[in-house]
């Protein structure tokens, strides 16, 4: 009953899915990153104490903030593209153009946020 994949790992790595594949992978990484972060965050605020203090020092680190903001922003913008295209399937023919628009929205916003985070960390 289990799935059979007649594809080796080397073939999988050479798969050239280009733009749409990249957004798929980043969407998945972003979703996983947020799920782990938010679970830890809720548990830390529930348990409190030393665990909570330790986790807060992790969250306040500027490197972590850049990573989690990348997860949130990319997942939100890519998710909006997926939602719009899935709810209006006729737009599917424009999906590569939609991905370019998505990067055009994401990159300036993320650049501003990284600048703000780093300038706040630098003091």
Partner 1 sequence: MATTKPRTLPLSKRGLNFEMFMWLFTRLSALAMYALILFAIIGALIMGARNQMNFADVLRWGFMPNSTHVQSTDVPDLAPWATPFWRLTASALLLVATAHGVHGLVVIADDYIVTPRGRNIVRILSIIMMISMSLIGVYVLWTS
Nearer to partner 1, 18 or 83 (CB): 83
Based on the shown chain and the rule CB under 8 A, indicate whether residue 35 belongs to the binding site for partner 1: yes
Site string for partner 1, 52-91 (x = CB under 8 A): -------------x------x---x--xx-xx--xx-x--
Report residue 122 as tokens.
């630098």
* CB-CB contact of 55 with 44 (8 Å): yes
Distance CA 117, CA 123 (A): 10
42 binds partner 1 (CB under 8 A): yes
Give the number of residues in contact with partner 1, rule: CB under 8 A: 28
Q: Report the candidate in 33, 113, 22, 27 with the shortest Cα–Cα distance to residue 78.
A: 27
Instruction: Tell me which residues touch partner 1 (CB under 8 A).
Output: 1-3, 28, 31-32, 34-35, 38-39, 42-43, 45-46, 65, 72, 76, 79-80, 82-83, 86-87, 89, 93, 116-117, 120
């Amino acid at each position: 009953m289990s799935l059979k994949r007649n594809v080796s790992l080397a073939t999988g790595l050479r798969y050239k899915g280009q733009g749409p594949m990249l957004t798929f992978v980043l969407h998945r990484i972003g979703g996983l990153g947020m799920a782990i972060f938010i679970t830890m965050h809720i548990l830390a605020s529930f348990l409190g104490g030393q665990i909570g203090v330790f986790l807060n020092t992790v969250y306040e680190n500027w490197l972590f903030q850049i990573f989690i903001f990348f997860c949130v922003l990319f997942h939100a913008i890519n998710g909006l593209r997926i939602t719009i295209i899935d709810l209006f399937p006729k737009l599917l023919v424009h999906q590569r153009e939609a991905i370019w628009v998505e990067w055009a929205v994401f990159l300036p916003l993320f650049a501003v946020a990284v600048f703000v985070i780093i300038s706040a960390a630098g003091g």
